[in-house]
A and B are shown apart, each in its own frame.
Chain A
Amino acid sequence: MGFLSALPGAIALGLIWGLMAIGVYITYKVLDFADLTVDGSICTGGAVCAVLVTAGVNVWVAMLAALLAGAAAGLLTGVFHTLMGIPAILSGILTQLILWSVNLKIMGQANLSVSARTYGVVISQLEAGWAILILFGFVSVIIGLLYWFFGTELGCGIRATGNNPNMSRAQGINVGLNKIIGLMISNALVALAGALLVQYQGFADINMGRGAIVIGLAAVIIGEALVNLICRNFAVRLAGVALGGIIYYIVYQLVIELGMDTDLLKMLSALVVAIFLAIPYWKKRYFSGFHRKKAAKEPPAPPPEGGETAAQEPPAAAPLQGGQSDV
Chain B
Amino acid sequence: MKRIKSIALAACMLTAGAISAVGLSACSTADYTVGILQLVEHSALDAATEGFRDALQARMDAAGKTVKFDYQNAQNETAACSTIANKFARGYDLILANATPALQACANSTTSVPILGTSVTLYSSALGLKDFDDNDPAATTGINVSGTSDLAPLADQAQMILDLFPEAEKVGLLYCTAESNSDYQVAQVAEYLAEKGVASERYSFTDSNDISAVAMRAASESDVIYIPTDNTAASNSALIDGICRPAGVPVIAGEEGICSGCGVATLSISYYNLGVKTGGMAADILLDGKKVSEMPVQKITKEECSYLYNAEICEDLGITPPQGYKAIGE
Chain A residues near B (Cβ < 8 Å) = 1-3, 5-6, 9-10, 13, 17, 54, 100-101, 104, 109-119, 124-126, 128, 197, 200-203, 205-208, 210-212, 215, 225-226, 229, 249, 251-254, 256-259, 262-263, 265-266, 283, 287
Contacts and interface: CB of A to CB of B under 8 A. Distances in A.
A72 to B, nearest CB: 20
Interface stretch (B54-62, B177-185, B252-260, B277-285): B177-185
B216 to A, nearest CB: 20
A216 B104 CA distance: 24
Given A110-B177, A259-B23, A115 B75 contact: no
A114 B128 contact: yes
Contacts of A263: 41, 73, 75
A138 B317 CA distance: 62
Contacts of B104: 111, 113, 115, 201-203
Contacts of B100: 111
Interface stretch (B44-52, B106-114, B166-174, B304-312): B106-114
B43 interface: no
A249 to B, nearest CB: 7
Contacts of B84: 256
B85 interface: yes
Contact of A258 (B19, B110, B207): B19
Given A101-B206, A109-B183, A262-B73, A6 B110 contact: no
Contact of B101 (A118, A203, A212): A203
Interface residues of B, number: 55
B83 A1 contact: no
Contacts of B207: 100
Contacts of B128: 54, 113-115, 117-119
Interface stretch (B86-94, B240-248, B318-326): B86-94
Contacts of B41: 263
Contacts, number: 166
Contacts of B183: 109-110
Given A3-B24, A6-B89, A201-B82, 12 more contacts: A2-B87, A2-B91, A100-B178, A113-B127, A115-B127, A200-B108, A206-B178, A207-B78, A253-B87, A256-B83, A258-B20, A262-B80
Interface stretch (B1-9, B220-228, B263-271, B294-302): B1-9
Nearest to A204: B78
A265 B87 contact: no
Chain B CB within 10 Å, residue with most, of A101, A110, A211? A110
Contacts of A205: 78, 101, 180
Contacts of B101: 111, 203, 205, 207
B90 A265 contact: no
A266 B74 CA distance: 10
A96 B109 CA distance: 30
Given A110-B178, A262-B72, A262-B73, A118 B83 contact: no
A201 B73 contact: no
A256 B85 CA distance: 10
